[in-house]
């Protein structure tokens, strides 16, 4: 199933406005459950989680910043 440019653009906006802040709250809550590990461990967890959310959502964000393709309205 291929998403249209307009659908990907709207979905990416929804993810950035609602999904990413919710993901940040979950990441900070995870660190709080671990009773504040050492600085380097905490940094590693944040960096790892920062890249983790990108992997499944990469197809949604791919090409959204470019002009709409020919034949599709933006």
CB atoms within 10 A of CB 23: 15
Q: Is 36 left (phi over 0), alpha (psi -120 to 50) or beta?
A: left
The mean pLDDT of 38-67, rounded to a whole number, is 88
| pLDDT digit string, tens, across residues 19-51 | 999 999 999 998 889 888 899 999 998 999 989
Q: Which pLDDT belongs to residue 17?
A: 94
Neighbours of 46 (CB within 10 A): 14
Residue 24 CB coordination number (10 Å):
14
pLDDT greater than 70 at residue 60: yes
Q: 30 is written with which tokens?
A: 């995870």
Q: Average model confidence (pLDDT) for the chain?
A: 87
Does residue 18 surpass a pLDDT of 90?
A: yes
Structure-block tokens of residue 61:
């964000």
For the chain, domain boundaries:
5-60
Beta strands in 11-61 (DSSP E): none
């Amino acid at each position: 199933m291929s998403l249209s440019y307009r659908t990907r653009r709207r979905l990416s906006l929804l993810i950035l406005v609602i999904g990413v802040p919710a993901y940040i709250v979950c990441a900070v809550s995870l660190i709080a459950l671990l009773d504040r590990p050492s600085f380097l461990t905490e940094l590693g967890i944040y960096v790892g989680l920062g890249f983790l959310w990108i992997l499944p959502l990469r197809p949604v964000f791919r090409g959204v910043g470019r002009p709409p393709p020919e034949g599709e309205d933006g």
